[in-house]
Amino acid sequence: MQENETLKARLHRRPILLAPGVYDPLTARLAEGAGAEALYVSGAAVAYTRLGRPDIGLVTMTEMAETIALIHDRVSLPLVVDADNGHGNALNMQRTVRLFERAGAGALQVEDQSYPKRCGHLSEKRLIPAGEMAGKIRAATDARASQDTLIIARTDAIAVEGLAAALDRANLYAEAGADVLFVEAPGSRDQLSAVATALGGKLPLMANMVEGGKTPVFSAPELEAIGYALVIFPGGIARAIAHAARDFYATLVQDGSTAAFRNRMFDFDALNEVIGTPEMLALGKSYEGSE
């Protein structure tokens, strides 16, 4: 992003903004170091790693706020945050916005699912009435302290009510004051294109790429060509690390050593470089009193 550029302004210019999924300060530091312009704090990845559980609404508002604050303390990039369904009704939504914004969220993604909510790429989701969701979006925009904090309105209606209903809901959410529209889980390139054709002239559109999910995975340039302004790859890092960790532990248990895995690891000094150990130790010394 350009110096002093807001997230809202960035979404209105090319190229498409790619926000890698992160779930803690370490993954956020690594993504920032790779050159990411913004980060997506994934509720699913937090559930996978912090709880060892599926993304079915088990992560609480305060657990997510604590995670946002820890990440915000270690990186300077804008944070797009998964706020689930606002953790309740319109009043809960307002508390969620205030809490997440204070913790460091630059954008909150809110969805129209009821409880118990599910990952957007699981089956048997349930929705609240569209009018109720529109009210929650108005509540969210009223609660934010800064107009630069974006509200991303997500609808899960494709899987429940069909594409036409999803587009109707998205239009209603735009009228309610959403800054970005997110139609979750289109099942094909044709559906992704239909969403972009129907909604692209209204607000920036967000796409969600989930490996093995309901939507075919396309690259950021391909999605930009279709008409999307923001793409997230939310849980990919958790899947990649889980795969690597499984192999690591199997190797260690089998061999009684990490030797065969060394070329796939940071060594002690390299990881300390990533997390800033030398700088922190030097800072600590600068505060030591002289004898």
pLDDT value at residue 291: 60
pLDDT value at residue 290: 65
Along the 291 residues of the chain, how does pLDDT read in single tens digits? Answer: 888 899 999 999 999 999 999 999 999 999 999 999 999 999 999 999 999 999 999 999 999 999 999 999 999 999 999 999 999 999 999 999 999 999 999 999 999 999 888 887 878 889 999 999 999 999 999 999 999 999 999 999 999 999 999 999 999 999 999 999 999 999 999 999 999 999 988 899 999 999 999 999 999 999 999 999 999 999 999 999 999 999 999 999 999 999 999 999 999 999 999 999 999 999 999 999 766
| Cβ neighbourhood burial of 50 (10 Å; 0-12, 13-18, 19+) | middle
Closest CA to 142 of 90, 79, 78, 195: 90
Which structure tokens are listed for 87?
């953790």
pTM (predicted TM-score): 0.95
Rounded to whole angstroms, the Cα distance separating 231 from 128 reads: 25
Q: Where are the domains of the chain?
A: 7-235, 242-286
Homologous superfamily assigned to 7-235: Phosphoenolpyruvate-binding domains (3.20.20.60)
Output the CA torsion sign for 159, 161, 167, 169. Answer: negative
Spell out the residues 6+ positions from residue 178 whose beta carbon is closer than 8 angstroms to its own: 137, 141, 151, 152, 153, 203
Rounded to whole angstroms, the Cα distance separating 288 from 285 reads: 5
Closest CA to 86 of 28, 163, 33, 144: 144
Q: Provide φ and ψ at 141, rounded to 5°.
A: -70, -30
Rounded to whole angstroms, the Cα distance separating 42 from 154 reads: 14
pLDDT value at residue 76: 96
pLDDT value at residue 237: 97
